Amino acid sequence: MSLITRRSLLANAARGGLALGAGGLIAACGSSSSSSSSSSSGASSSAAAAAGTPKHGGTLRAGLTGGSSSDTLDPNAPVNNTDYARVANLYEGLVWMNAAGQPYFRLAEEMTPNKDATVWTIRLRPGVTFHNGKDVTADDLIFSINRVVNPKSPGEAANILHGIDAAGMKKLDNRTISVPFTKPYSTLVESLAQNITVYVIPVGFDPKNPVGTGPFKYVSFTPGQQSVFARNENYWNAPLPYIDQLVMTDYADETSQVNALLGGQVDVVNLLSQDTIGTVTGSGKKVVISDGGGWNPFTMRVDQPPFTDVRVRQAFRLACDRQAMLNTVFGGHGTIGNDVFGIWSTEYDHAIPQRPHDPEQARALLKQAGHEGLTIELVTADIAQGVINMAQVYAQQAAAAGINVKLRQITVTEFYGPNYLKWVFAQDYWYYSPYLPQVQQATLPVSPFNECHFDNPRYNSLYSQALATLDEAKRVEIAHEMQMIDYDQGGYIIPFFPPVIDGYAPHVHGIVQSKVGSSFNDWDFQHMWIA
Amino acid sequence: MSAAAQPPLGVSGATRRRGLPWRRRHPIAHMAIVRLALGVVTLFAVSVLIFLATQALPGNAAYAVLGHSATPQRLHALEAQLHLNESLVAQYGHWIGGVLRGDFGTSLANGESVSALIGPRIVNSAVLVFLAGIIGSLLATAMGLIAAARRDGWFDHVSSVGALTVTAMPEFVVGIAVVIIFAINVFHLFPAVSVIPPGTSPLSNVSLLVLPVLTLSVVIAPYIFRMMRAAMIEALESDYVEMAELKGLSRRRILLVHALPNALPPVIQVIGLNLLYLAGGIVVVEYIFNYPGLGAALVAAVSDRDIPTIQFLVLMLAAFYVAVNIVTDMLALWASPRRRAAR
């Protein structure tokens, strides 16, 4: 599951201008070493890795963008970045993802499928207690799952558990349950290894007084402003966490966020743009640049003209100069993409030939399809760092292929309003998911967020086969065939996988580069210490 | 003037049965009452207009809350929970009924009580507006007085050019410059951002207020300065000041006792206008300093289509506008007895 549901800068053209203009002013005044970003990121990551022994104590102050008045602590309803930050520290899932983008067991000790992958047996790790002292038992796990799939008010993770037979869940012993599904689900572990997942909460959970098993426990929370958490003294993964208190403050704007870091009022900040790297490093602070697996695609609806013709889709993909776009928008940081998602999965096929930048071929294809010199509207909004810039760059690049792209910039609220998933040519953003779980969210007819309205019968049947295949090698083969279909016929243009750029003060240690595609290795504050 | 039609002021009811009407005897109070009544009507009209305007925006609070992760199921569930599928009249009626009982409703974005969540933010902004208003006005008035008293001197030239320069700069440029000079690059005297922790009063941490107040004061000072200077110059060129000089009164007495009171009415109006400008324009400063005030809250509420919060904030702002207008006019009327008498 890689739903990127944060809202970054709120949509407001004046404020966007303010941020860019002011950011430019600060960049001009601040640094003299704007071109040393790659060396500084290398230095900062190796320095972080080589830092001494962790020390206990201190308060970590995080200044985070993406928050809003709809901030929440409910583990079933995280929507924006700050929600994920809170939820990742108060609660824990059965499975989680490490910095290499691979799933590992967190609260689950073991998860075993039956031979046709229709029933999963899940055993919880022993010795875990909630913040209120109660032990974690199988009843709590059943309650947590039911709360997610509650048909009257489904949680974020409900569509990951698509096909679950919740009424058929059985408690096998104090720490073990069996979960039946109506269809085979061989990829359950991968699918749960994301920040939209089943978080284990106690029976009778009350969002006004949130209790979880996480490294930090709730102290106070004011939506749109600040949340304060304290160290969980009885955390099962002792000696973690190291810091005593975690204060997360919402910032509406990158400018004030960076100012706060430079002025020493916060210790870590998330999701910087590449323009501020120089300012931050030039003032003695540090930056960590991760090759995240998140992706910001251009989305073409394959069921609407002109994109019904696969040649037009291929032409649009060929018209994109990916390296140039990456250089312009993200200063060259990040990984070039090949119109297939899930880059860090074991099933990603790195052997697919990299699509070149070929405007001539694009022109030829368009001519064949009878769409020479076509005009198209691209709907864009400030939904994530760099998205609008990408649209502007694409519009310029497409002109060389004879495509006349008209940009239509709207507010974030309007973008995700009633017309979301109906735009013919638009953009979107996703966090990193392994390949098959991502397919379930994006490219099947039943997918909740199928922006391209992709519905390929061969692809759909391959997916069902993959879900019924427990043999990993066979699954990888099936996935490769699906990826060729994405590559040849899909509706996404995935020019690259953008970098995740976070900033921090030098006295904070334990920060690592991560492939998971969200800040700080998925808000991994428990591994940080202050020295 | 048709003297025959009205009795001269001060003559007690010799030619009329009941004497001067109440409104003539208490012109300021009369004006205040009429304006208050009109103000209430204005507030009501504003609330209806804003409600309709928010409805006209694409999307609603359910879409805004769920954002990227909205599925049709979750949308319907949330819309029902937030009563967004009721008719417009029902929704507005529900809200106005609550307001008349003193209950401003709960936020559609997070379910908390609007007055509990937004009230402190209004207080935060009010503190900024009043501090900046007072400091900026006093400073600018004093500077205008001195500049007019020593007209064409070095102080007059320097401050006039300075005022013009500042007027030309947008608010956020002033703010960023203040942050760069006093917080980050040149000096490190004050915090670069002013995050008031929720639940604490802004006045309990004055160092956080210095830079935002400085920014706002600098932004409003030029207008007050220029108006004060112009009004003082006009007052100093009048006949009665010439008379006072011929009589041999001291310069200071002439300035403060004779010229200043006559220069005040237009300056009071300008100060009032600037306070109103501050209330509306504070949002940029709040973004720069990440100050938890009402400007940022209103932008967020509109983005979230959070109708109760929008209504609450707009009502408070409209009430502030009405109140400042009334007070300004009352003060101006009080400061010019001639106008009072002419009513």
User: pLDDT tens across A240-282, in order?
Assistant: 999 999 999 999 889 899 999 999 999 999 988 888 999 999 9
Asked if residues B214 and B129 have their Cβ atoms less than 8 Å apart, the reply is no
pLDDT at A527: 94
Grouping H, G, I as helix, E, B as strand and the rest as coil, residue B113 is strand
In angstroms, how far is CA B158 from the centroid of its own chain? Answer: 28
Beta-carbon separation of B183 and A259 below 8 A: yes
Q: A153 contacts in B (CB within 8 Å)?
A: 74, 77, 81
- Examine the pLDDT at B154 and tell me if it is beyond 90: yes
- Examine the pLDDT at A187 and tell me if it is beyond 70: yes
- Examine the pLDDT at B142 and tell me if it is beyond 70: yes
What percent of chain B has pLDDT above 90?
A: 31
Residue A152: partners with Cβ closer than 8 Å, 6 or more residues away: B77
Q: B189 contacts in A (CB within 8 Å)?
A: none
Highest mean pLDDT among A12-16, A93-97, A515-519, B309-313: A93-97
CA distance A443 to A495: 18
Asked if residues A427 and A299 have their Cβ atoms less than 8 Å apart, the reply is yes
CA distance A72 to A70: 6
Sign of the dihedral defined by the CA atoms of residues A284, A285, A291, A296, in that order: negative
CA distance A452 to A493: 11
Min mean pLDDT across A23-37, A52-66, A180-194, A291-305 is at: A23-37
- Examine the pLDDT at A34 and tell me if it is beyond 50: no
pLDDT band at A355 (very low <50, low <70, confident <90, very high): very high
Q: What is the rounded average pLDDT of the residues B70-98?
A: 84
Nearest CA in chain B to A152: B77
Q: Output the average pLDDT for chain A.
A: 88
Cα angle, residue B140 at apex, residues B134 and B146 outer, rounded to 5°: 135
- Residue carrying the six token digits 């069902």: A464
pLDDT in tens, A379-398: 999 998 899 999 999 999 99
pLDDT at B12: 52
Q: How far apart are the first and last CA of chain A?
A: 35
What percent of chain A has pLDDT above 70?
A: 90
Beta-carbon separation of B192 and A249 below 8 A: no
Q: How far does A519 lie from chain B, in Å, by closest CA?
A: 18
Q: Going along A3-116, which residue ranges are E strands?
A: 59-65, 95-97, 103-105, 108-113
pLDDT in tens, A462-488: 999 999 999 999 999 999 999 999 999
Asked if residues B209 and B226 have their Cβ atoms less than 8 Å apart, the reply is no
Beta-carbon separation of B198 and A257 below 8 A: no
Look up residue A336 and give its two tokens. Answer: 């070039």
Continuous segment of H or E residues that includes residue B65: helix B61-66
Q: How far does B95 lie from chain A, in Å, by closest CA?
A: 20
Continuous segment of H or E residues that includes residue A247: strand A245-251
Q: Residue A177's beta-bridge partner residues?
A: A122, A171
In angstroms, how far is CA B298 from the centroid of its own chain? Answer: 16
Residue type, B197: P
Q: B112 — contact with chain A (CB < 8 Å)?
A: yes
Q: How far does B194 lie from chain A, in Å, by closest CA?
A: 9
Nearest CA in chain A to B303: A413
Comparing A41 with A98, the larger pLDDT belongs to A98
Q: Residue A299's beta-bridge partner residues?
A: A426, A492
pLDDT band at A25 (very low <50, low <70, confident <90, very high): very low
pLDDT in tens, B208-244: 999 999 999 999 999 999 999 999 999 999 898 999 9
DSSP letter, residue B7: P
CA distance A370 to A4: 36
Asked if residues A246 and A214 have their Cβ atoms less than 8 Å apart, the reply is no
Residue B299: partners with Cβ closer than 8 Å, 6 or more residues away: A10, A12, A15, A252, B283
CA distance A4 to A196: 10
Look up residue A427 and give its two tokens. Answer: 């953009």
pLDDT in tens, B180-196: 999 888 888 899 999 98
Beta-carbon separation of B180 and A29 below 8 A: yes
Q: A208 contacts in B (CB within 8 Å)?
A: none
- Examine the pLDDT at B343 and tell me if it is beyond 60: no
Nearest CA in chain A to B66: A79
Beta-carbon separation of A68 and B109 below 8 A: yes
CA distance A38 to A211: 41
Of the candidates B282, B269, B281, the residue with the CA atom closest to the CA atom of residue B330: B269
- Examine the pLDDT at B258 and tell me if it is beyond 90: no
If phi over 0 gives left and psi between -120 and 50 gives alpha, with beta otherwise, what is residue B205? beta
pLDDT at B7: 53
Residue type, B149: A
If phi over 0 gives left and psi between -120 and 50 gives alpha, with beta otherwise, what is residue A353? beta
Sign of the dihedral defined by the CA atoms of residues A188, A522, A517, A76, in that order: positive
In angstroms, how far is CA A214 from the centroid of its own chain? Answer: 20
Q: How many CB atoms lie within 10 A of CB A335?
A: 17
CA distance A337 to A330: 14
Among the partner residues A226, A259, A418, nearest to B193 by beta-carbon distance = A259
Asked if residues A246 and A254 have their Cβ atoms less than 8 Å apart, the reply is no
CA distance A363 to A404: 12
In angstroms, how far is CA A226 from the centroid of its own chain? Answer: 22
Peptide bond preceding A239 in cis form (omega within 30 of 0):
yes
* B100-104 contacts at long range (C-beta below 8 A, 24 or more positions apart): B104/B308, B104/B311, B104/B312
pLDDT at A4: 37
Look up residue B249 and give its two tokens. Answer: 């009164």
- Examine the pLDDT at A41 and tell me if it is beyond 80: no
Which of B287, B288, B294, B306 has the highest number of chain A CBs within 10 A, making it the mutation to test binding with A?
Answer: B287
- Examine the pLDDT at A14 and tell me if it is beyond 70: no
Q: What is the rounded average pLDDT of the residues A51-76?
A: 89
Comparing A96 with B187, the larger pLDDT belongs to A96
Asked if residues A62 and A85 have their Cβ atoms less than 8 Å apart, the reply is yes
pLDDT at A285: 94
pLDDT in tens, A139-157: 999 999 999 998 888 888 8
Q: What is the rounded average pLDDT of the residues A22-45?
A: 39
Asked if residues A90 and A229 have their Cβ atoms less than 8 Å apart, the reply is yes
Residue A49: partners with Cβ closer than 8 Å, 6 or more residues away: A512
pLDDT in tens, B261-291: 888 888 998 999 999 888 877 888 998 999 9
Of the candidates A195, A154, A409, the residue with the CA atom closest to the CA atom of residue A293: A195
Q: What is the rounded average pLDDT of the residues B46-59?
A: 85
CA distance A302 to A75: 35
Continuous segment of H or E residues that includes residue B265: helix B260-289
pLDDT at A11: 40
Beta-carbon separation of A154 and B74 below 8 A: yes
Residue B337: partners with Cβ closer than 8 Å, 6 or more residues away: none
Q: What is the rounded average pLDDT of the residues A19-42?
A: 40
The distance between the two most distant Cα atoms of chain A, rounded to a whole number of Å, is 69
Asked if residues A101 and A91 have their Cβ atoms less than 8 Å apart, the reply is no
pLDDT at B333: 82
pLDDT at A195: 83
Of the candidates A489, A153, A100, A13, the residue with the CA atom closest to the CA atom of residue B62: A153
CA distance A302 to A314: 11
